[in-house]
Amino acid sequence: MSYVIGVDVGSTYTKAVILSPEKEGKKKWLDTP
Amino acid sequence: MTPTGFKLDKASEKVFDKILKDSGLAKDEISYAISTGYGRHMVPYRDITVTDLTATARGSNYFFPGTRTVLDIGGQTMKASRLDEKIKVKSFRLNDKCAAGTGAFLEKTARYMGYETEEIGPLVQTSKEDVPISGVCAVFAESEVINQLSLGSAPSDIMHGAMSSLVKRAIQLLKRVKMESQVTLTGGIMRFKTMIDVLTENVEEKINVPKGDMVQFTTALGAATLALQRLEKIKAEA
């Protein structure tokens, strides 16, 4: 399955989000604390 | 979410491992990665990088398609940008050379009064009035804070004043990019309801704020939406 990740390496915190493909209904996960 | 620290590659690997664990996905199920932000070039598993202005514009548009201006205030930067109808950044201004225009100013103000960063939100919620704080310099703010405390001002009101001072700087940046409606607010500082309230009172345009944790994840989400778009294009061309 073709999932993608966006990673934001900020000066204070680093955050990531994974998205599923459109046909999977745009599921998303956050690396919340 | 993890503190970035000085080992930027390690921080990016740490969030990668955590999000894989949280989502139940395997590493090889991730087909494309876009990194953004201050340390974007240090992410070992990235396919490409994009600027944080581009990613935040995309993330803001994901939640609020009418976004034409973005204000992003983080721990060490303040950025205002104006977008066109194709979500391209047409104009931007940064305040990244001075702590007085960033979350660090609020942290320092809190610390001078004996509070921790995580206490800022609950503290300012109890404010009854706005004590003027110049916000010209985060270092000199210490004497201003001590002066106000000695005059009997409540710490909550001083914190409210510090937020108002930050908002004044934000409005200067927004004016310089010629803000247009709608204005979307992002970044860790937007977790504080008082910041949103003061901004809403002082900005005439329609204001949007991503819900809950998303206010801090808008930029990462924007990078992910661009990654999805890029992956679909690669597949279509294959």
Contact with chain B for residue A11, Cβ under 8 A: yes
- Per-residue pLDDT, averaged over A22-31, amounts to 68
Give the distance from residue A27's alpha carbon to the nearest chain B alpha carbon, in angstroms. 10
pLDDT value at residue B142: 82
pLDDT value at residue B99: 79
Residue B11: both structure tokens together = 């921080």
Which residue of chain A is at minimal alpha-carbon distance from B38?
A10
More confident residue, B43 or A21: B43
pLDDT value at residue A1: 64
- Of B8, B18, B35, which to mutate for an interface test with A (greatest number of A Cβ within 10 Å)? B35
Residue A33 pLDDT > 70: no
Q: Which of B38, B220, B231 sits opposite A16 (nearest CB)?
A: B220
The ipTM of this complex is 0.91
Contact with chain A for residue B7, Cβ under 8 A: no
Q: What are phi and psi of B128, to 5 degrees?
A: -105, -25
Global pTM reads: 0.92
Give the distance from residue B18's alpha carbon to the nearest chain A alpha carbon, in angstroms. 6
Contact B19 A5 (CB under 8 A): yes
Taking one residue from A and the other from B, the number of pairs with CB-CB distance under 8 angstroms is 169
pLDDT value at residue B138: 78
Q: What is the pLDDT along chain B (238 residues), one digit of tens a residue?
A: 999 999 999 999 999 999 999 989 999 999 999 999 999 999 999 999 999 999 999 999 999 999 999 999 988 889 999 999 999 999 999 986 777 778 888 888 999 999 998 899 999 999 999 898 876 777 888 888 899 999 999 999 999 999 998 999 999 999 999 999 999 999 999 999 989 999 999 999 999 999 988 999 999 999 999 999 999 899 888 8
Pairing of strands B2-3, B30-36: unpaired
Task: Find all residues with CB under 8 Å of B155, minimum gap 6, and list them.
Answer: B113, B115, B123, B149
